[in-house]
Amino acid sequence: MVKVNGHFCNGGLASSLHQLPVLPSYPTNSLEFLRTLQPQAENIVTQSAVALNIIIVGAGLGGLATACALARRGHHVTVYEQANQLGEVGAGIQMPPNSARLLLRWGLGEFLQGKVVEPTSVKFRRWQNGAEIGCTRLFPDHRQKFNAPYYVVHRAHFHDALYRLALKLGAEVEIDAKVREYDPETPSITLANGRIHTADLVVAADGEQTLHSALLMLIIGTGIKSIARKLVVGDDIPPRKTGFAAYRATVDVDKIKADPDIAWIVEHPNINLWIGNGRHAMTYPIASGKSFNMVLSHPQSDNDSTNSLPEILEEMRRHFKGWDERLSRIISLIHTTLKWPLYNLPRISTYLHLSSKLILLGDGAHAMLPYMSQGAAMAIEDGAALAHALHLATSRKEIDKMLRIWDNTRVQRCSQMQEASSINGTLWHFQDGPEQEARDAAMRWEVADEESSDLSQAGSSPNQWSDLLTSTWCFGYDAEQEIQRQVQFSVP
Ligand SMILES: Cc1cc2nc3c(=O)[nH]c(=O)nc-3n(C[C@H](O)[C@H](O)[C@H](O)COP(=O)(O)OP(=O)(O)OC[C@H]3O[C@@H](n4cnc5c(N)ncnc54)[C@H](O)[C@@H]3O)c2cc1C
């Protein structure tokens, strides 16, 4: 099947299909069936007509994913990272279908082999007794619906896979290379050692370091925030405290298996999420099931400032006292944890400098609460969308226009994801009472047996993994296709 003037055309099928647009302008799944008629052409990567020299600042998940997306299209990419060794802080991370689809398309699969877990379900549980109050089937349902897996993975494995793919695709990565200054007009960067590097485009994927403050300050000896953001937005927009922090920890799977009351949690690869009472506990297996990841979100007061591990562990147990006995048993197996203050960046109106030669992406542009598990996924989409927008430029003259389309598309998508993440915080943290009861009643169809289920509610849910509209928008989104659509419908 070939594409002619934005329409499908396929020999004998042409008469029936030729009026269908490849990418309609309105939200619809009605043309999804056409995918089955398309040849498997995704592995054939065409090089961009305009090959650029691109600098990426920051080798976090966002910077490395962007390096992969750009290098595979033939751009010359160099990543500068301030840390003197590469790595990721924290343990587990979810890789939802909207990012997994892109990463697998680029060839990350071979580097993830034996590292990822594909959970069967996300199970929402009542805080007090662990009763199942909501459930989304990820495998096989989500995989089939969104044409991509939902993975959970150790951050270190994910980061290493991206690094190796970036190198394989021809990107260069320089460590111990802290960027001290940007010149957005040339554009160029100046490193701490005084060296200046110029390029056609500079991509700042320098994160929101305030999020990682305590630990990063230890690692890299600084607590500054994205310097590029100030240049792009023209103002110093600091991230806001959310009043929440998260304990991040892993538990030895063998210890869980040894306790018959909690062994069930590692028997099936599920994401289990206890919610209520101003807090939540997100848990899932990582490292092919060899480790068990926990993120325990709780209110943080300005007085919680201890750095003593025994005191932090004690405080963590206090926060979840009175919760499901089984969860408390798992928490008692945590012997070390990181306490992570959670920040939110206010929506900013542009990620593109006026010069069109410096852009922001990832947490530096749109740090969000981790409650949709989409922060890194948005950074990966940013990179995918950028590479695709540049790919659609047929000459250097068109690059400006493509970057503006990228900017509008990404600002809307990421600010909506910031909002969805905050909404999850509210939905999950209701105190017991009328709102919590109404929420649980509205999710009941997900767990009730067929006879007692009120199917009139099916399709809408306060569980945003199950809610049909939200999940299609969130997980069904293809960042490359969306850029294609925006370019197709842009005014010439
Ligand atoms: C508790 C928690 C759970 C989360 N769970 C998920 C999840 O399940 N799924 C998901 O998709 N997301 C999740 N996230 C969000 C995700 O971790 C972040 O969105 C993502 O890691 C951001 O990547 P980044 O590359 O934009 O920034 P960073 O990871 O912060 O990387 C920025 C890099 O730039 C470097 N840098 C900064 N300044 C300079 C400079 N001047 N010169 C050179 N280098 C520089 C830094 O050293 C760093 O390596 C979670 C976040 C938290 C806190």
**Burial profile 220-234: b = 16 or more Cβ within 10 angstroms, e = fewer:** beeeebbebbebbbe
DSSP H helices, 72-206, are 97-106, 109-112, 143-146, 155-168
pLDDT at 213: 38
pLDDT at 237: 86
- Cβ-contact 310, 323 below 8 angstroms: no
pLDDT at 450: 63
pLDDT in tens, the chain (492 residues): 334 344 443 334 444 556 676 678 888 888 877 766 665 555 678 999 999 999 999 999 999 999 999 999 999 999 999 999 998 877 999 999 999 999 999 999 999 999 999 999 999 999 999 999 999 999 999 999 999 999 999 999 999 999 999 999 999 999 999 999 999 999 999 999 999 999 999 999 999 864 443 344 333 333 346 789 999 998 888 888 899 999 999 999 999 999 999 999 999 999 999 999 999 999 999 988 999 999 999 999 766 667 889 999 999 999 999 999 999 999 999 999 989 889 889 999 999 999 999 999 999 999 999 999 999 999 999 999 999 999 999 999 999 999 999 999 999 999 999 999 999 999 999 999 999 999 999 999 999 876 666 666 678 999 999 999 999 999 999 999 999 999 998 877
Determine the atom of ligand 1 nearest the C-alpha atom of 375.
Answer: 19
Q: Residue 459 is encoded by which pair of tokens?
A: 């399709």
d(CA 60, ligand 1 centre) in Å? 6
pLDDT at 220: 36
d(CA 373, ligand 1 centre) in Å? 12
Domain ranges of the chain: 2-37, 53-115+141-239+345-429+467-488
pLDDT at 451: 64
pLDDT at 303: 67
d(CA 143, ligand 1 centre) in Å? 26
Using a 6 Å cutoff on CB, does residue 91 contact ligand 1? no
**Global pTM value:** 0.93
Using a 6 Å cutoff on CB, does residue 150 contact ligand 1? no
Of 342, 348, 301, 304, which is closest to residue 211 (Cα–Cα)?
A: 342
| Architecture, CATH, for domain 53-115+141-239+345-429+467-488 | 3-Layer(bba) Sandwich (3.50)
pLDDT at 489: 86
Using a 6 Å cutoff on CB, does residue 179 contact ligand 1? yes
d(CA 212, ligand 1 centre) in Å? 8
Distance of CA 95 to the CA centre of its chain: 7
